[in-house]
C-alpha cells in the first residue's frame, strides 16, 4: 500500500468549512481534538480531552436526540479500535443524520507514534500492527455506506459524506504521520457541555 | 387501591421513567430487566438502544444530554465494571446520569462467577462519585427510582439504583447436572 499523502489539518478544515448551527461536531481525544480546534473553536464543537472510546456512542446519543441536525464524529483509529462494538450499536439505530470520519495515521500519535493496530503487520517484530481495516469492520458491523479515502481527488466526496449524505456514513481517511502544534480548546468539560447546550438549546 | 398494591415493580419503573421524560433507554440483555426493556421497546416516546457493552451507555447518555434528552442505562452488576472508567465523564462534563442495576452475586446466588463484581458494585460506583440507592422491597421500588431520577435530573447528580437480588429473586436454572 502506498504511503499516505493527506494532511489531517487542512482536511479537517475543509470538512468543517462554513459550519453553521446545523452541524454538531464531536472530536476524539488528542489529535482530532486539536484538528477541529485549529479549524475554528465553536460552541457546537465538543472536543474531548479524555473518554477514549466514547465519541461514536456519544455521537449516536446526540444524533438520536437531535434528528434534524447533522452530527459529525471525527476521531482517530486507536480511539475507534477501543469501541468497535459501538459501530454495530450505531447500525441497530440507522441514524440518518450521523457521519463518522476516522483519521487513520496507523500510529498511536499522542504517545510517540508506536504502530497502532491499523499498521501493517510487516513493520518488524517490535513495532508491528495487525493491518486492521476499520472500513471493513464498519461494513461488517452493519453500516452500509462505508468508504476509504486516500487521495486528494477524493476529498470533495469526503466533505459531502461528512456533511450531507444520508447516514449512517462511515469514512476511513488514511492520513500522514505529522508532528503538529497542539491547538487547544477550553479544557473544562462542564463549560464545553454548557456552551454546547446553550448554543443548541438556548439554555445550559 | 388493590390494583396499585398488586402492581408489578417493573411496570412501576417504566411509569417513573415516563414521568421523568426519559427519551432514551440503553440496555444489554438482562433477565431481571427484561420486562422493563419490553415496555420501553413498545413505547412510542422512548428510544431503546441495545448495547454491545455497558460503557457505550455512558457515551450515549452524554450525547443525549448534549442534545437535550434524558436517558437511563439498564444493566446488571456484572457489567458495572465495564463502565467505571467512562463513569468519570459524568463528573467531568457534570451531566445528570441515571442507571438501574439488577444485582447478581449476593442473595443466594448459585453462580460463583457473579460474586466478585456483584460484591464490588456498590464500592466501585461510590469510588467514582456515583450516588448509590438500594432497594430490596417491591413496595419501595417506585419511590426509590423516582427519588433517584429527581436526584439525577433535578439535582444534577450521577445516580445508580441497585435492584437487589432479594427483590429480583434467585436465578434458578432448574435441575442441574454436575459433571
Q: Is the pLDDT of residue A80 over 80?
A: yes
In a domain, B174, yes or no: no
The residue written with cell numbers 481517511 in the block is A173
CA distances from B140 to A15, B5, B148 (A): 52, 11, 12
Tell whether the model's pLDDT for residue B113 goes beyond 70.
yes
* Lowest pLDDT segment from A54-68, A113-127, B78-92, B126-140: A113-127
Q: Is residue B178 situated within a structural domain?
A: no
> Which chain B residues contact residue A201 at CB under 8 A?
68
Average pLDDT for residues B152-172, to the nearest whole number? 91
CB contact under 8 A, B59 and A57: yes
Report yes or no on A3 lying in a domain: no
> Touching check for B54 and chain A: CB below 8 Å?
no
Cell of A183: 491547538
Query: B7 CA to chain A: closest CA distance, Å?
Result: 31
- In the block, cell 448495547 appears at B51
Q: What is the mean pLDDT of chain A?
A: 95
Q: Do A58 and B57 touch (CB under 8 A)?
A: no
Domain count, chain B: 1
Residue A172 resides in a domain: yes
Asked whether residue B111 carries a pLDDT value surpassing 80, the answer given is yes
Residues in A closer than 8 angstroms to B88, CB to CB, are 50-51
Contact with chain B for residue A192, Cβ under 8 A: yes
Q: What is the ipTM of this complex?
A: 0.96
Predicted confidence at residue B1, as pLDDT, reads: 42
- Decide if pLDDT at A168 tops 90: yes
Can you tell me the mean pLDDT for A67-82?
Answer: 98
CB-defined contacts A:B, below 8 A: 118
**Overall domain count for chain A:** 1
Q: How confident is the model at residue A96 (pLDDT cuts 50, 70, 90)?
A: very high
Lowest mean pLDDT among A40-49, A97-106, B5-14: B5-14
Say whether pLDDT at B52 is over 60. Answer: yes
Cα dist from A91 to A188, B13, B75, whole Å:
32, 28, 21
Q: A168 to chain B nearest CA, in Å?
A: 15
Give the residue numbers spanning the domain of B38. 2-168
Read off the pLDDT band of B3 (50, 70, 90): very low
B59 CB neighbours in chain A (<8 A) are: 51, 53-58, 60-61, 83, 86
Of residues A158 and B5, the one with the higher pLDDT is: A158
**Would A2 be classed as within a structural domain?**
no
Domain containing A164 equals 8-201
Residue A64 with chain B: CB contacts under 8 Å: 24, 47, 49, 63-64, 67, 69
Q: How far apart are CA A85 and CA B107, in angstroms?
A: 32
Computed over its alpha carbons, how large is the radius of gyration of chain A? 16
pLDDT band at A110 (very low <50, low <70, confident <90, very high): confident
Tell me: pLDDT of B4 over 60: no
Please name every residue paired with B76 in a beta bridge, in sequence order, or none if there are none: B102
Supply the CATH number for residue A65's domain. 3.40.50.970
C-alpha cell at position B86:
467512562
A127 pLDDT higher than 90: no
Given this model, what pLDDT does residue B178 score? 64
- At B2 the pLDDT is 45
A189's CB contacts (< 8 A; 6+ apart) are A49, B89, B92, B93, B94
Q: Which residues of B47-74 are buried (b: 16+ CB within 10 A; e: fewer)?
A: bbbebbbbbbbbbbbbbbbbbebbbbbb
For chain A, count helices (H), then strands (E): 8, 8
Instruction: Give the nearest partner residue to A61 out of B24, B93, B94, using CB atoms.
Output: B24
Closest approach of B97 to chain A, Cα-based (Å): 13
Rounded mean pLDDT of A23-34? 97
pLDDT score of B160 more than 90: yes
Is A1 a domain residue?
Answer: no
Question: Is the pLDDT assigned to residue B46 strictly greater than 80?
Answer: yes
- Which residues of chain B make contact with A196, given a CB cutoff of 8 A? 66
Q: Does residue A114 register a pLDDT over 50?
A: yes
* B177 within domain boundaries: no
Shortest CA gap B46–chain A (Å): 11
Average pLDDT of chain B? 93
Mean pLDDT across B120-140: 97
Give the distance from residue B60's alpha carbon to the nearest chain A alpha carbon, in angstroms: 4
B89 close contact with A: CB closer than 8 A: yes
Is residue B21 a part of any domain in this protein? yes
| Radius of gyration for the alpha carbons in chain B, expressed in angstroms and rounded | 16
Answer whether B89 sits within 8 Å of A54, measured CB to CB.
yes
Determine the pLDDT at residue B32: 87
CB contact (8 A) between residue A200 and residue B62 = no
Across the interface, which of A26, A63, A193 has its CB nearest the CB of B95?
A193
What is the per-residue pLDDT for A160?
98
Helix (H) or strand (E) holding B67: none
pLDDT of A121 > 90? The answer is: no
Is residue B60 within 8 angstroms of chain A, CB to CB? Answer: yes
Structure confidence at residue A113 as a pLDDT band (50, 70, 90): confident
| Nearest CB to B93 within list A88, A89, A193 | A193
Domain annotation covers residue A103: yes
* DSSP helix/strand/coil, B101: strand
Q: What percent of chain A has pLDDT over 90?
A: 90
Q: Which residue, among B51, B45, B65, has the nearest Cα to A58 in the 3D structure?
A: B65
pLDDT category at A109 given cuts 50, 70, 90 is confident
The number of CA neighbours under 13 Å toward the Cβ of B8 is 9
Find the closest chain B residue to A62 by CA distance: B63
CATH of the domain at B18: 3.40.50.970
Q: Is B59 left (phi over 0), alpha (psi -120 to 50) or beta?
A: alpha
* Per-residue confidence band for B177, with pLDDT thresholds at 50, 70 and 90: low
- Residue A112: predicted pLDDT: 87
Amino acid at each position: 500500500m502506498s504511503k499516505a499523502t493527506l494532511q489531517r489539518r487542512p482536511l479537517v478544515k475543509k470538512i468543517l468549512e462554513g459550519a453553521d448551527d446545523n452541524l454538531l461536531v464531536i472530536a476524539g481525544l488528542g489529535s482530532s481534538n486539536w484538528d477541529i480546534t485549529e479549524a475554528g473553536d465553536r460552541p457546537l464543537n465538543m472536543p474531548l480531552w479524555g473518554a477514549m472510546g466514547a465519541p461514536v456512542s456519544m455521537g449516536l446519543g446526540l444524533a438520536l436526540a437531535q434528528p434534524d441536525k447533522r452530527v459529525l464524529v471525527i476521531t482517530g483509529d486507536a480511539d475507534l479500535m477501543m469501541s468497535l462494538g459501538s459501530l454495530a450499536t450505531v447500525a441497530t439505530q440507522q441514524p440518518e443524520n450521523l457521519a463518522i470520519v476516522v483519521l487513520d495515521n496507523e500510529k498511536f500519535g499522542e504517545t510517540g507514534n508506536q504502530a497502532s493496530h491499523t499498521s501493517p503487520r510487516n513493520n518488524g517484530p517490535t513495532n508491528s500492527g495487525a493491518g486492521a481495516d476499520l472500513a471493513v469492520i464498519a461494513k461488517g458491523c452493519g453500516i452500509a455506506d462505508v468508504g476509504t479515502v486516500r487521495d486528494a481527488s477524493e476529498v470533495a466526496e469526503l466533505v459531502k459524506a461528512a456533511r450531507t449524505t444520508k447516514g449512517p456514513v462511515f469514512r476511513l481517511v488514511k492520513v500522514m504521520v505529522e508532528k503538529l502544534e497542539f491547538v487547544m480548546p477550553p479544557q473544562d468539560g462542564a463549560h464545553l457541555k454548557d456552551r454546547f447546550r446553550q448554543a443548541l438549546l438556548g439554555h445550559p | 387501591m388493590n390494583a396499585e398494591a398488586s402492581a408489578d415493580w417493573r411496570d412501576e419503573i417504566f411509569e417513573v421513567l415516563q414521568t421523568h421524560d426519559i427519551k432514551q433507554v440503553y440496555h444489554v440483555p438482562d433477565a431481571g430487566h427484561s420486562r422493563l426493556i419490553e415496555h420501553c421497546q413498545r413505547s412510542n416516546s422512548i428510544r431503546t438502544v441495545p448495547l454491545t457493552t455497558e460503557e457505550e451507555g455512558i457515551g450515549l447518555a452524554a450525547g443525549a444530554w448534549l442534545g437535550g434528552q434524558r436517558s437511563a442505562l439498564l444493566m446488571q452488576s456484572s457489567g458495572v465494571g465495564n463502565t467505571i472508567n467512562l463513569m468519570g465523564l459524568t463528573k467531568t462534563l457534570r451531566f445528570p446520569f441515571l442507571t438501574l442495576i439488577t444485582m447478581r452475586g449476593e442473595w443466594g446466588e448459585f453462580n460463583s462467577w457473579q460474586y466478585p463484581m456483584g460484591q464490588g458494585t456498590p464500592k466501585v460506583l461510590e469510588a467514582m462519585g456515583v450516588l448509590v440507592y438500594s432497594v430490596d422491597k417491591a413496595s419501595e421500588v417506585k419511590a426509590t427510582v423516582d427519588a433517584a431520577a429527581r436526584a439525577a435530573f433535578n439535582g444534577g447528580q450521577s445516580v445508580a439504583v441497585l435492584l437487589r437480588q432479594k427483590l429480583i429473586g434467585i436465578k434458578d436454572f432448574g435441575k442441574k447436572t454436575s459433571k
